[in-house]
Amino acid sequence: MGHGSWLTGSLVYLAAAVIAVPVARLLGLGSIIGYLAAGIAIGPWGLKFVTDPQDMLHFAEFGVVLMLFLVGLELEPRRLWSLRKPIFGWGSVQLFGSAALMAAGALALGVDWRLAVVAALGLAMSSTAIGLGALAERNLMATSSGQSVLSVALLQDVAAIPILALLPLLAAGGADADASSGGGWVGAAKALSVIAIIVLGGRLALRPALRWIARSRTPEIFTAAALLLVVATAALMQTVGLSMALGAFLAGVLLAESEYRRELETDIEPFKGLLLGLFFIAVGMSIDFAVVLAQPLLIAGVVLGFLLLKAAVLWGMARAMPIPKAERPVFNILLAQGGEFGFVVFQTAAQAGVITAPVSSLLVAAVAISMLLSPLLLVMADRWWIPRLAGQRTSNLKEIDEPQDAPIIIAGFGRYGQIVGRLLYANGIAATVLEHDADQVETVRKFGWPVFYGDATRLDLLRTAGAAKARVLVLAIDDIAQSVKLAKIASEHFPQLTIVARARNVSHYQDLRDQGVTLIERETLDSALMSGRSVLELVGFQPHQARTLALRFRKHNVAQLDVLRQHRNDRAKLIAVSKQGRQQLEELFAQERDAAQRRQVRAGWSGEDEEPPAA
């Protein structure tokens, strides 16, 4: 591509996105519909600014790779292991259950069995990009439906290689079945070897390498290293025919516990957003309206048929898993659609001679149309379906729309935020409360609490809540990533706000400190210390003595965290400082025990009748 064509192409794509996406958001349709509409507008069946969308589609698929890498960064290995049953259990039910229903339906209509199998497998796949993109846009990734969508998407990525390996075996005649079978075993061995390399390399080499790069103190090189990591992992997976997105996801999981997780996330996020936008634009451009116009009723029948069959399987899954009623429409819509992997299946099947090129074009058009319909169906579900399932709560759960002027904002009104709120209200102090969980809002309102429904990480909602004039922001959100995100937004846009935060664990504490938050309470620290005080009293310590020791331990623990924070990127130093702090605390308590015993002796305690309490 010449310099002029590259510049013109960039101008066209960026202009289309900048115009279409804000208009779609203004109409309440979401950014994904804006990107798809932009693709249709500039594609071969629109203004014809782009006549060959396939090249852009292949390039923009890297946006899906980056997205799965970021999803992996949020899933620690322990948490991923806890999802093994939903991934391989319910994921298999969705994929093979949907494929079996569609294949049976096609056979009943007299379709050739090879075409029925290929079409069923291709249409059973869902769009990872649209599914996870819509969840992120709605802040639903942490919900049960969000985790379920992620689990099914991961199973589909795992199943990609055996499905592609099956296609040559379905070719008419099957003359090379034995050779293909042998090649399949070799391919499986290569795939397992590559996965082992990624896992072992991630455990042994990635963190030292990132630590070495970080010591250069060159931000742009660290960004380049982050991109290199994702590209290299994706390329390695592609060489053995595995999903690039799956490889990137594995790399992300392996770095989820790394001290560089937040830096990687910050560096990758802008590239992911742009490339995902390009991917959606390319999907819009790839819809072949010639095929649609030539056989509109057949296309409509295929789209409607496979959406309904998949939805039937998904609805049964949602009831059995179980997923809350209000979340079932999102779960159904995001997984009932076709996916980008369907393009690969149908194109590969056509090249292998399993299906004809016209049939492949028809199926690709059906998948693309389903991907276009999904965001529209979500908008319709938001307005009519979800409110019905939620018991007609539309008016009660309307987001905050009138400016508030309370001096305090409480973000999150779960078990932690409620205690803070009750203490404030009991002392006549007003607060604006924001809660994103619709069920929690409904429950709390039944007890008379004035809680507003809304996502506190949205800047416009924060402004309406009065953040520009408020004095204090109580950060009580359960989700760690959302908590840190809100702390960053508040620090950047409302510097007059004093943030009082709750930390779920030490890592959360450190992330909040990195955002400049100083008033942080770890949610289990004080309750654990109260239990510790009770134990000390039970073994013989006086109540005032137990209280003093607990407070002294608390002071030392908080101070130690700030010392450890300075070395959080140097594991060896971190361990050494931690050991040193533990030794200092033991020496401090030993000195206090000696001093207490001396005071007791001076007070006339003989020690003959009873022993002093042991530490």
Per-residue HEC secondary structure of 50-91 comes to CCCHHHHHHHHCHHHHHHHHHHHHCCCHHHHHHCHHHHHHHH
What CA–CA distance (Å, rounded) separates 226 from 263?
9
Has residue 598 got a pLDDT over 70? no
pTM summary value:
0.56
Neighbours of 305 (CB within 10 A): 16
Q: Looking at residue 375, what is its pLDDT?
A: 81
343-357, 387-401, 534-548: least confident range? 387-401
Q: Are 478 and 415 in contact (CB under 8 A)?
A: no
Neighbours of 238 (CB within 10 A): 14
Digit-coded pLDDT (tens) for 517-570: 888 888 777 778 888 888 888 888 888 888 888 888 877 777 777 665 665 555
Q: Are 75 and 251 in contact (CB under 8 A)?
A: no
183-187, 281-285, 353-357, 419-423: least confident range? 183-187
Q: Are 102 and 309 in contact (CB under 8 A)?
A: yes
301 alpha-carbon distance from chain centroid: 34
> Which residues are CB-neighbours of 537 under 8 A, at least 6 positions away?
543, 546
Paired residues of 500 in beta bridges: 474, 519
Q: Looking at residue 586, what is its pLDDT?
A: 59
Q: What is the mean pLDDT of residues 455-469?
A: 85
Q: Percent of the chain having pLDDT more than 90?
A: 5
Q: What is the mean pLDDT of residues 562-584?
A: 57
Q: Looking at residue 405, what is its pLDDT?
A: 82
Q: Are 151 and 86 in contact (CB under 8 A)?
A: yes
What CA–CA distance (Å, rounded) separates 456 from 477?
9
Residue owning tokens 């250069």: 216
Taking alpha carbons only, the member of 47, 480, 478, 104 closest to residue 285 is 47
48-57, 82-91, 228-237, 287-296: least confident range? 48-57
Mean of pLDDT over the chain: 77
> Which residues are CB-neighbours of 403 under 8 A, at least 6 positions away?
464, 466
Q: Looking at residue 611, what is its pLDDT?
A: 44
Q: Looking at residue 101, what is its pLDDT?
A: 92
**Of 563 and 323, more confident:** 323
Taking alpha carbons only, the member of 253, 206, 257 closest to residue 232 is 206
162-176, 193-207, 230-244, 421-435: least confident range? 162-176
33-37, 77-81, 321-325: least confident range? 77-81
Q: Looking at residue 387, what is its pLDDT?
A: 64
In residues, how long is the chain? 615
Q: Are 498 and 519 in contact (CB under 8 A)?
A: yes
pLDDT tier for residue 104 given thresholds of 50, 70 and 90: very high
Q: What is the mean pLDDT of residues 16-27?
A: 83
Strands of the sheet with 408-411, listed across from one edge = 451-453, 432-435, 408-411, 472-475, 498-503, 519-522
CB neighbour burial string for 137-163, b if at least 16 within 10 angstroms, e if fewer: ebbbbbbbbbbbbbbbbbbbbbbbbeb
Pick left, alpha or beta for residue 524 (phi over 0 → left; psi -120 to 50 → alpha; otherwise beta).
alpha
Taking alpha carbons only, the member of 500, 441, 426 closest to residue 470 is 500
Q: Please compute Rg for the chain using Cα positions.
A: 29
Q: Looking at residue 277, what is its pLDDT?
A: 80
What CA–CA distance (Å, rounded) separates 370 from 437?
29
Q: What is the mean pLDDT of residues 81-104?
A: 85
- H or E segment at 28? none
pLDDT tier for residue 473 given thresholds of 50, 70 and 90: very high
Neighbours of 241 (CB within 10 A): 15
Domain 53-173+186-389 has CATH 1.20.1530.20: yes
**Of 515 and 199, more confident:** 515
DSSP string, 543-610: HHHHHHHHHHHHHHHHHHHHHHHTTTT-HHHHHHHHHHHHHHHHHHHHHHHHHHHHHHHHTT--SSSS
DSSP one-letter code for 456: T
| Superfamily for domain range 396-504 | NAD(P)-binding Rossmann-like Domain (3.40.50.720)
Q: Looking at residue 614, what is its pLDDT?
A: 43
Taking alpha carbons only, the member of 285, 292, 280, 284 closest to residue 365 is 292
Residue owning tokens 């996870």: 132
Q: Are 468 and 405 in contact (CB under 8 A)?
A: no
94-98, 210-214, 298-302: least confident range? 210-214
**28: its two tokens:** 């309440």
Q: Are 533 and 223 in contact (CB under 8 A)?
A: no
DSSP one-letter code for 497: P
**Of 308 and 590, more confident:** 308
What CA–CA distance (Å, rounded) separates 13 from 31?
15
Q: What is the mean pLDDT of residues 389-414?
A: 70
Q: What is the mean pLDDT of residues 506-527?
A: 82
**Of 184 and 416, more confident:** 416
pLDDT tier for residue 394 given thresholds of 50, 70 and 90: very low
In terms of average pLDDT, the best of 206-220, 286-300, 340-354, 598-612 is 286-300
What CA–CA distance (Å, rounded) separates 377 from 27?
15
What CA–CA distance (Å, rounded) separates 598 from 605?
10
Q: What is the mean pLDDT of residues 10-30?
A: 81
pLDDT tier for residue 312 given thresholds of 50, 70 and 90: very high
DSSP one-letter code for 454: S
Domain boundaries, the chain: 53-173+186-389, 396-504
Has residue 309 got a pLDDT over 90? yes
pLDDT tier for residue 601 given thresholds of 50, 70 and 90: very low
**Of 64 and 309, more confident:** 309
pLDDT tier for residue 359 given thresholds of 50, 70 and 90: confident
Has residue 613 got a pLDDT over 50? no
Neighbours of 128 (CB within 10 A): 27
In the chain, how long is the greatest CA-to-CA distance?
105
What CA–CA distance (Å, rounded) separates 349 from 357?
9
Taking alpha carbons only, the member of 335, 380, 329 closest to residue 29 is 380
Has residue 588 got a pLDDT over 70? no
Q: Looking at residue 581, what is its pLDDT?
A: 54
Has residue 177 got a pLDDT over 50? no
Q: Is 606 strand, coil or helix?
A: coil
Q: Percent of the chain having pLDDT more than 70?
A: 79
What CA–CA distance (Å, rounded) separates 187 from 240?
7
